Chain A
Amino acid sequence: MRLRIEITRRPGIADPEAVTVTRALRELGFDMVVAVGMGRFLLIDVDEADPEAARAAADRMCRQLLANPVLEDYSIEVVAEEVAG
């Protein structure tokens, strides 16, 4: 199984990098850009056949290490095929 984990800044936590990217995109003429959210993306290959067990493990990984609940939200996707990393 492969875990695809997306970690993003919680709403209300300032992200000056994302503000700078927003401004840069608008300066390039992308006037439709209203806001940018930035974060971290992890691909984790696990030796686990049961998708639910894999998801539960991913949730524990996020809570214990990968995300800081003060700053970040996370979402988990479990995909069946394992792609060479």
Chain B
Amino acid sequence: MNIAVVVFPGSNCEHDVVHALRGVGSNPKLVWHRDDDLSAFDAAVLPGGFAHGDYLRVGAIARFSPVMAEIEAMAAAGKPVLGICNGLQILCEAGLLPGALVGNRDLSFICRFVHVKVESTKSSLTAAATKGRVLRIPLNSYQGSYTAQADVLAEVEANGQVILRYCGPDGTVDDNNNPNGSANGIAGVSNAAGNVVGLMPHPERASEPILGSTDGKVLLESFVSALAEA
């Protein structure tokens, strides 16, 4: 259960992710974005931060980092690949996940706990969770509003690739409980196969009681057990 946690220039959540992944019984290791051989790894995580300064567009430069060819190969081979926050933005830019992330609806940087509802358990991030369960996890982003072309959005919905949706504490999905204006309140998506997953909120920051929530743990546990099955 070796997980590569990719460090780009400007990543800033990699140590939290490593710590949280260890906490759920896996063996994470930091790898530099110039590494071009991830054959020793069963899975990969792209952590949050501001890879390459988010220059041009979030994730636009990072997708050309040498490591991304390896990430694409792992994704194609069915290995679990997870993008958190900036990691999701990079996976979208790389075309490994549908859609893109743009500035929050209210033009404010959002750094607080939000609620998300598990919409599908057919992904490496949600397999161990229960459909309909509400998780309390921190969001920490400015470019966090998920968007996609209408036909892509319809396809993602129809295929059950929406894995997490913003909601209220009671699970209500509506505009008031959509913190950043994401299309259809989408907080997390997967590819069609379900092995490549991404979300804007930070499960690693909700993985121990001292952090104020342990709700993120079930997502990381899913990811690690997906690993055992892959």
Contacts and interface: CB of A to CB of B under 8 A. Distances in A.
Interface of A: 10, 12-17, 20, 65-66, 68, 70-71
B100 A70 contact: yes
Which bucket holds chain B's interface residue count?
A: 20 to 34
Tell me which of A16, A65, A68, A70 has the highest count of chain B C-beta atoms within 10 A of its own C-beta: A70
Contacts of A13: 102, 147
The binding surface of chain B is classed by DSSP as loop
Contacts, number: 40
Nearest to B59: A68
A65 B100 CA distance: 14
B100 A14 contact: no
Nearest to A71: B100
B60 A14 contact: no
B171 interface: no
B14 interface: no
Contacts of B56: 65-66
The 10 closest A-B pairs by CB, nearest first: A70-B100, A16-B107, A71-B100, A16-B105, A68-B100, A68-B57, A13-B147, A16-B103, A70-B99, A70-B149
A14 B99 CA distance: 14
Contacts of B99: 70
Given A16-B103, A16-B106, A16-B107, A70 B147 contact: yes
A71 B102 contact: yes
B179 interface: no
B107 A68 contact: no
